[in-house]
A and B are shown apart, each in its own frame.
Chain A
Amino acid sequence: MSEPRRATPVEDLNLVKLSKIYGGLAAVDDLTLTIPGGSFFALLGPSGCGKTTTLRMVAGLENPTSGQMFVGAQEITDLKAYKRPVNTVFQSYALFPHLDIFENVAFGLRRRGVKDVTGPVERMLELVELTSMARRKPGQLSGGQQQRVAVARALINEPDVLLLDEPLGALDLKLRRQMQIELKRIQVEVGTTFVHVTHDQEEAMTMADTIAVMNQGRIEQLGAPTQIYENPATAFVANFLGQCNLVPGQITGGDGDNAVLSANGFNFSVPRSRIHAAGSSAILGVRPEKITMYWADEPLPAGHNRLEGTVTDVSFTGVSTQYLVKVPWGQELVVFEQNLSLEELSRRGEHVQIGWAPGHTFALDGAEDITAGMGSHVVGA
């Protein structure tokens, strides 16, 4: 991979106790966040959780009610939008309809009094593969092309931070996947910090180095995609990032690295490092694809968590089959099985065993609402 082509090192973006209150309601609530320079950072959360408000405060288009913002050591809290080392890709692109693509991209350079814009603009149009479109007006471009112009127009200024507010929201699924790869490529090539806002958890996980999951103006959890997916700290994060089986119970003891969590009279092992409960009251969590189905008389690997149950629903989805298994206390757990064999699928009403490795189990605090974040889930197709 080529070296990032920026001349100056990229600074961290620091938000300190940032709040924005609209008519008594906190859209952004005491947000403290460090976004490492040069990273691809995703701000993920359901509609209305304050993502756009956060970006607009960083861009200088909205004044925070309280708190501070820094790029490196420079405080930008009270800096005018047009003086910040930050550029934005707007959700609706906001390309200037009266200017052609070349002039749209050159806009920032011209305003800063750069004399020769031709070279940089041509290089930038090459980067986003739009050289042949330079003299067209934005209205004559497809959605995906407009999106790339918006990225080029912002990136040409070599900002310390590039803010992207759901830049792919208006594109169809196929183009979205394509643009995700494209944006990631551009980010690696230019080395600028990207703060990417989305409510699509798949998009966030595909693109970002670090994801902050946001809910009602606050950060619920921050970490690498695998970390927050595999080891969520809250029910909201567990549910928002994909389907999840959650069972309330109690931590009753354990030995060494594993604790024992008992729920409805059954005992399960959970690694201590994956327990997020403050007290002994806890919620057992396991993702559907971590669970394996066994015939009723099959032996399970030693030490695995095990349950018996009855298949109540089977749905074939192509890459996998989704089962609902009713366990002894009446709850239906979701199980994903890859379609590896041509063997007959388990049928509705069949008695089966399910099991999973303790390492795939996590435990949430018992006070959590196990349905949090469920309704706001975006199903990726």
Chain B
Amino acid sequence: MAWLRSKLLGIVAVLVLVYLFVPIAVVAVLSFNDPEGKFNISWNEFSLSAWGNLCGVAGVCQSFILSIEIALIATLIATVFGTMIALALVRYRFRGRGAANSLIFLPMATPEVVLGASLLALYLNLRLPLGFWTILIAHIMFTISFIVVAVKARLQGMDPRLEEAAQDLYASPWQTFRFVTFPLVLPGILGAALLGFALSFDDFIISNFASGTTVTFPIFIWGAAQRGIPVQVYALATLVFALALVGTVVGQIVSSRRRRKLAASS
């Protein structure tokens, strides 16, 4: 009993991790499968054919690359504007600041179907041809709120005295931003950008409304799921997960190395 109690936290943690990673593991395993029929849902035989020929199914790579492009551009634009909005909301007092602060949450709180449907209505009214640009505009719109919130949190955690010290040491407002505020907020901005990228890359609902006949990766998978998802999709998904994993691990190692180096030098 005492043993169980002392290990309880560890056991629960492991169970939660298993719960989180089982679906991903299934996808990874099935990416090496050679399915019997059209549906890749039960293990049949080990095969590297999907991995050897990632673009082997018509449209899969085009949609994958399109989603990456949209995610990169949307993230870049949303990060620049989101950071500026966050700075304005935290550092300056102006009329309507309170309202702006709550309105920025609205897109996050609104159900995506509602956002998607209203965007579609807007686009049709404006007679904008649906496609790459309409998807991009939609993605910038819904990622920007998340970025504002993430950067704002970082800015609020920053000691305002640091900016005052910079001013006191002859830094103009621009130099204060360039040499003090920006470097200190940068980790927050990068984190926000990563989040924005992930949100844009895997968005289905809003994209589905805004895309017309253009096919992003999530839309491709959705379409393919009706007819049986090709193994290539499993392989690409595993690849994305592996890249994210490598990125995280490398980040951890670099930062812990740096910490150890700092500790050793003192």
Contacts and interface: CB of A to CB of B under 8 A. Distances in A.
Interface of A: 59-61, 80-83, 86-88, 90, 92, 94-98, 107-108, 111-112, 135-137, 140, 153-154, 157
B184 A107 contact: no
Contacts of B179: 107, 111
Contact of B167 (A61, A97, A135): A61
Given A94-B159, A96-B180, A107-B166, A82 B262 contact: no
Contacts of A98: 183-184
Interface of B: 159, 161-162, 164-172, 175, 179-180, 183-184, 262, 265-266
B167 A81 contact: yes
A82 B183 contact: no
Contacts of A61: 164, 167-168
A87 B169 contact: yes
Given A60-B168, A81-B168, 11 more contacts: A61-B167, A82-B167, A82-B171, A87-B168, A90-B165, A94-B162, A97-B184, A111-B169, A111-B175, A112-B170, A154-B169
Contacts of B171: 82, 107, 111
A336 B180 CA distance: 53
Most chain A beta-carbon neighbours within 10 Å: one of B161, B162, B170, B265 = B170
B25 to A, nearest CB: 39
Residue with the greatest number of chain A CB neighbours at <10 A, chosen from B165, B169, B184: B169
With most chain B CB atoms within 10 A of its CB, the pick from A60, A81, A95, A140 is A81
A96 B159 CA distance: 10
A146 to B, nearest CB: 13
Select the residue from B162, B168, B172 with max chain A CB neighbours within 10 A. B168
Contacts of A92: 159, 161
Contacts of B184: 97-98
A136 B169 contact: no
Nearest to B182: A98
Nearest to A150: B165
Nearest to A91: B161
Contacts of A157: 169-170
Nearest to B162: A94
A107 B169 contact: yes
Nearest to A113: B170
A98 B265 CA distance: 17
A96 B162 contact: yes
Contacts of B165: 88, 90, 94-96
B37 to A, nearest CB: 57
Given A94-B162, A96-B162, A136 B265 contact: yes
B180 A59 contact: no
22 contacts: A59-B168, A61-B167, A61-B168, A81-B164, A81-B167, A82-B167, A82-B170, A86-B168, A94-B165, A96-B162, A96-B166, A97-B184, A107-B169, A107-B171, A108-B169, A111-B170, A111-B171, A135-B265, A136-B266, A140-B266, A153-B169, A154-B168
Contacts of A108: 169-170
> Which residue, of B161, B175, B183, has the highest number of chain A Cβ atoms within 10 A?
B161
Contacts of B265: 135-136, 140
A96 B172 CA distance: 16
B178 to A, nearest CB: 10
Nearest to A153: B169
A137 B262 contact: yes
B173 to A, nearest CB: 8
Of B164, B184, B262, most buried by chain A (CB within 10 Å of CB) is B164
Nearest to B159: A94
Nearest to A56: B164
A80 B167 CA distance: 9
Nearest to B186: A98
Query: Which of B165, B183, B266: most chain A CB closer than 10 A?
Result: B165
